[in-house]
Amino acid sequence: MGAESLDRQVKEKLIKMQKDEITEYHIYKKLASKLAGDDNAEVLNEIAEDEKRHYKIWEEYTGIKVKPSRIKIFFYYFLARIFGITFGIKLMELGEESAQESYYRITDRFVEAKTVFAEEDEHEHKLIAMLEEEKLEYAGSIVLGLNDALVELTGTLAGLSFAMRETEIIALAGSITGIAAAFSMAASEYLSTKTEEGENALKASIYTGTAYILTVIVLVVPYLIFSSYITALAVTILSAVLIIFIFNFYISVAKDLNFKRRFIEMTVISLGVAAFSFIIGYFIRIAFGIDI
């Protein structure tokens, strides 16, 4: 079946596939160039050549040359450089799922589509097997720091808000509590991973402590900006939910985990502790007659 026998709708679909294939070819090649000498680079180059071959298959049918999407190349390359090659590529692979569905729907009409579809599916498994990044190896330590900071500090700030009602004092108390807890968590992570094989205890503790401190900063800052403790608490809670959303989206993409379940679970725990602490703070203030 040549280009002259294709109807307009089918031809447009094939041209879109062409564009996707050549775009992904350039993305893989660009990422591989940054991993020179690495085993990952060899696999990325191999997949890139497959994408180029797929492009050539569709070119035979459409009879035209298609340029890659420079915006997509920049976008995914930027994501990979900032958030890690695993995240960037996995996010791109999620987009390829719709392309695979398109291949599947036209396999009866184009024999080559069956081969392309099988290879696209194989690419995903290759990528999962080949990509290893330090930040993902220590994802557990990051989760520990983030989760602990979100649960403990959100609850602490909520309790302090109703007990003290002065944003500057709340910020001071929250900062001291948060920084002390960060060092404590980092030390605990160091001790708990010191005897585990394949993990660097010092790095694990650094990831945990850093995640904790960064979370502390984000949660405390609203109390330094707003004079109303209610407003500050509301912004802090929204910030906590945003952190939970961003981190769980990142991990769910990079490690193929269930985003919705993890997001809801972490949000419910953090906000539940905050609500409970807010109530405790109210009763403590009443019981001790605190009026700041």
Q: pLDDT of 6-61, one tens digit each?
A: 677 777 888 888 898 899 899 989 888 887 667 778 888 888 888 888 888 888 88
| Chain position carrying tokens 């993902």 | 136
What whole-number distance in Å separates Cα of residue 274 and Cα of residue 150?
A: 9
**Looking at 21-35, 128-142, 199-213, which range is the least confident one?**
128-142
User: Of the given ranges (51-60, 193-202, 264-273), which has the lowest mean pLDDT?
Assistant: 193-202
Same domain assignment for residues 200 and 259: yes
Closest by CA to 149, choosing from 274, 52, 283, is: 274
Q: What is the pLDDT of residue 292?
A: 52
Q: What distance in Å separates the CA atoms of residue 129 and residue 85, rounded to the nearest whole number?
A: 13
* Same domain as 76, residue 153: no
Banded model confidence at residue 255, pLDDT cuts 50, 70, 90: confident
Q: Check whether residue 204 and residue 281 sit in a common domain.
A: yes
Higher-confidence residue of 136 and 151: namely 151
* Ramachandran angles phi, psi of 61, nearest 5°: -85, -40
**186 and 96 fall within a common domain:** no
What are the CA-CA distances from residue 207 to residues 136, 170, 186, 201, 252 (Å)?
Answer: 11, 26, 8, 10, 19
For the entire predicted model, the pTM comes to: 0.69
Domain limit, last residue, from 97, 131, 165: 131
> What is the Rg, in whole angstroms, of the alpha carbon atoms belonging to the chain?
25
Q: Which amino acid is at 123?
A: H
Q: How many CA atoms lie within 13 A of 70 on its CB side?
A: 1
10 Å CB burial of residue 8 (0-12, 13-18, 19+) is exposed
Taking 3-state DSSP, the helix, strand and coil percentages for the chain, each rounded to the nearest 5, stand at 85, 0, 15
Q: What is the pLDDT of residue 224?
A: 92
What Cα–Cα distance (Å) separates residue 120 from each residue in 21, 103, 240, 287? 10, 10, 38, 65
Whether 110 and 207 share a structural domain: no
Q: How many residues does the chain have?
A: 292
Same domain, 194 and 213: yes
CATH number of residue 38's parent domain: 1.20.1260
Find all residues with CB under 8 Å of 51, minimum gap 6, and list them.
Answer: 21, 22, 24, 25, 28
**Contact of 80 with 88, CB cutoff 8 Å:** yes
Pairwise pLDDT comparison (50 vs 292), residue with the higher score: 50
Write down which residue in 131, 147, 176 finishes a domain.
131
* Number of domains, the chain: 2
On whether both 121 and 149 belong to a single domain, the answer is no
Q: Is the same domain home to 10 and 47?
A: yes
Range of the domain at 89: 3-131
Examine the domain organization and report whether 30 and 94 are in the same domain: yes
153 phi, psi to nearest 5 deg: -75, -35
